[in-house]
């Protein structure tokens, strides 16, 4: 199979990735202290680690404040699941496995040791008992688009959190890298005697208590300019109107209730990632803090906050904008942020006119995935986080998506690559490493009971960048499965198979 790099971009594609790959490998070979430089960097640094370059004031919030649509950048894109038991052969290399010899980089003759070592090692590594009975796999050379290895590549399997690659890519495809999520306040003077300030949720799970305090202060100043000193407070979560109030996994430390208004993803501790106790009503908590901060800013707040839809035509008061979407996507992938993934998936559904139910989310993500040129015939998307066991992806879909993200003609997708955790260094791969893989393997993890997955990129010792997807169901335990996946990914670098020339015949 060939994963196409579109048209005239193919030559530029090879040149771009050759330079990136060779530079990364050269840095690793030069000194161990520079290993981190092989990670996902954009012009020397991750985009999520840069200060936002564009002031929020420059965005024109021209949408109807009650509609929850038309946020900055909207409409203007640059344009974890038990797998069903499957019959199959016993242990040992699968009869379904196909290894294509590693092709040359830009015409250079490949080292024979790499080809023979991979041919001998990869099927056996994937036959590890820790990966269950028949894992699926696909490995693609991103310099040529050629598939180098395939084992049940079109088998639909539970992807767990590797589905976040889909969520990230489709959000970027829909909105572009600079799009931001807006939380706003509007003034409802609906003739009740006391004006009402409505806090309108905008799907931003990264909203913090200091952000809310600043929003309240800005709102108080806007009210003072209008000589308004006393208000009631309402909160609008209608952006998710008609949606499920919880993810199908129910009350769970891995995800908060589904609402468009929350602070710190509803976390009740000081954590910023991973499982944590969650608020039962994050929206009510957020508006309570807002009302208290508004009062502290000098506005008299009458009564307790109540749910209230912002009316069409309500006067805008203030807003808070999230970091750019490129940064949000990196956060989703590096930290495996379930809450933000579900928020962005619903954001895409709203933009495409789909309901924000899980069914609508699946339809929207599938539509955009197909629009990216990915075969969705064996794909079933049911949420944005991968926590729902009913979801299905194929290895081919994942490597195809990574190839699209590497396409020079799709710069808006690049955060899908820059956000990938680095083996042994960052995010969900910080504590995971295999000989030869540290700093060269960058991948999204996926973990549910009985399901383990890994999909991302590696830098090979000859300078090529490879995309891979390993999906395993029916795994007996996470520790063995993760170790097996890490070994397989590290093998793709060539380093885990011995020093260069070590396997050459005498």
Q: What is the pLDDT of residues 161-203, one digit of tens each?
A: 999 999 999 999 999 999 999 999 999 987 677 899 999 999 9
Lowest-confidence region among 117-126, 130-139, 363-372: 117-126
pLDDT digits (tens, 9 = 90+) for 275-284: 889 999 999 9
The encoded tokens of residue 328 equal 């949000």
Is residue 184 within 8 Å of residue 200, measured between CB atoms? yes
CA distances from 59 to 54, 55, 56, 78, 214 (A): 9, 8, 6, 17, 18
Supply the residues annotated as catalytic. Answer: 161, 164, 336
- pLDDT score at 75: 34
Res 446: pLDDT: 97
DSSP letter assigned to residue 209: H
pLDDT for residue 313: 86
Q: Is the pLDDT of residue 381 over 80?
A: yes
- Look at residue 124 in the predicted model and tell me its pLDDT: 93
Q: What is the mean pLDDT of residues 485-499?
A: 80
pLDDT, tens digit (0-9, with 9 covering 90-100), for 238-252? 887 656 688 888 788
Cα separation, 359 vs 248, in Å, equals 12
Over residues 402-431, mean pLDDT: 96
Please tell me the least confidently modeled range out of 79-83, 299-303, 326-330. 79-83
Highest-pLDDT range among 2-6, 7-11, 84-88? 2-6
Question: What residues contact residue 148 under an 8 Å CB cut-off, 6+ apart?
Answer: 99, 100, 101, 102, 103, 118, 139, 140, 141, 466
> pTM for the full model?
0.80
Residue 83 pLDDT? 32
Does residue 441 register a pLDDT over 90? Answer: yes
pLDDT at 246: 81
Would you state the pLDDT for residue 356? 87
| Lowest mean pLDDT across 325-329, 353-357, 369-373, 501-505 | 501-505
Tell which wins on pLDDT, 417 or 68.
417
pLDDT of residue 503: 35
| pLDDT of residue 307 exceeding 60 | yes
Question: Looking at residue 6, what is its pLDDT?
Answer: 40
Taking residue 51's Cβ as centre, other Cβ atoms within 10 Å add up to 5
Structure tokens at 66: 């009650």
Structure tokens at 341: 């993934």
Q: What is the pLDDT of residue 252?
A: 83
DSSP assignment, residue 410? -
> What are the Cα distances from residue 294, in Å, to 37, 90, 264, 288?
45, 65, 19, 10
Residue 40 has pLDDT above 90, yes or no: no
CA 58 to mean position of chain CA atoms: 27
Task: Please indicate whether residue 76 or residue 131 has the higher confidence score (pLDDT).
Answer: 131
- Residue 139 confidence (pLDDT) above 70: yes
Residue-averaged pLDDT of the chain: 80
Rg, C-alpha atoms of the chain:
24
Bigger pLDDT: 54 or 356?
356
- The lowest-confidence range among 265-279, 371-385, 491-505 is 491-505
β-bridge partners, 230? 300
Q: 11 falls in which pLDDT band (50, 70, 90)?
A: very low
The whole-number pLDDT of residue 502 equals 34
- pLDDT 10s digits, 201-237: 999 999 999 999 999 999 999 999 999 999 999 999 9
Is residue 336 scored above 60 in pLDDT?
yes
């Amino acid at each position: 199979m060939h994963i196409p790099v579109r048209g005239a971009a193919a030559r530029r594609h090879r040149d771009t990735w050759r330079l990136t790959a060779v530079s990364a490998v050269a840095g690793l070979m030069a000194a161990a202290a520079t290993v981190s430089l092989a990670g996902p960097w954009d012009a020397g640094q991750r985009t999520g680690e840069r200060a936002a370059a564009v002031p929020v004031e420059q965005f024109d919030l021209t949408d109807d404040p009650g509609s929850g649509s038309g946020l900055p950048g909207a409409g203007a894109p640059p344009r974890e699941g038990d797998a069903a038991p499957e019959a199959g052969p016993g242990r040992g290399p699968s009869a379904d496995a196909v290894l294509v010899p590693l092709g040359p980089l830009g015409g250079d003759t490949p080292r024979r040791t790499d080809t023979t070592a991979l041919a001998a090692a990869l099927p056996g590594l994937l036959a590890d008992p820790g990966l269950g009975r028949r894992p699926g796999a696909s490995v693609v050379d991103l310099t040529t688009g050629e598939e180098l290895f395939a084992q049940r590549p079109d088998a639909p399997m539970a992807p767990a959190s590797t589905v976040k690659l889909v969520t990230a890519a489709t959000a970027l495809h829909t909105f572009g890298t600079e799009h931001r999520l807006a939380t706003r306040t509007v003034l409802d003077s609906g003739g009740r005697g006391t004006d009402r300030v409505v806090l309108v949720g905008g799907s931003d799970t990264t909203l913090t208590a200091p952000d809310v305090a600043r929003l309240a202060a800005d709102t108080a100043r806007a009210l003072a300019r209008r000589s308004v000193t006393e208000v009631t407070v309402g909160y609008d979560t209608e952006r998710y109107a008609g949606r499920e109030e919880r993810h199908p996994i129910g009350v769970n430390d891995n995800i908060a209730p589904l609402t468009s208004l929350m602070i710190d993803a509803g976390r009740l501790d000081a954590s910023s990632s991973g499982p944590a106790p969650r608020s039962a009503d994050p929206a009510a908590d957020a508006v309570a803090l807002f009302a208290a901060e508004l009062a502290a800013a000098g506005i008299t707040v009458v009564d307790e906050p109540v749910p209230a839809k912002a009316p069409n035509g309500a006067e805008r008061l203030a807003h808070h904008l999230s970091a750019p979407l490129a940064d949000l996507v990196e956060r989703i992938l590096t930290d495996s942020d379930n809450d933000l993934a579900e928020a962005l998936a619903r954001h895409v559904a709203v933009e495409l006119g789909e309901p924000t139910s899980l069914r609508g989310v699946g339809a929207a993500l599938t539509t955009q995935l197909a629009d990216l040129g990915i075969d969705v015939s064996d794909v079933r998307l049911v949420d944005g986080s991968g926590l729902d066991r009913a979801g299905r992806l194929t290895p081919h879909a994942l490597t195809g998506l990574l190839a699209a993200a590497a396409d020079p003609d799709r710069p808006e997708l690049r955060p899908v690559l820059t956000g990938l955790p680095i083996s042994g260094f960052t995010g969900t791969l910080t504590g995971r490493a295999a000989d030869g893989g540290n700093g060269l393997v960058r991948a999204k993890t996926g973990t549910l009971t009985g399901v383990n997955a890994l999909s991302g990129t590696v830098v090979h010792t000859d300078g090529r960048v490879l995309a891979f997807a390993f999906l395993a169901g029916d795994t007996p335990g996470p520790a063995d499965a993760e170790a097996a996946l890490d070994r397989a990914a590290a093998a793709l670098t060539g380093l885990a198979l011995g020093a260069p020339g070590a396997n050459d015949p005498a």
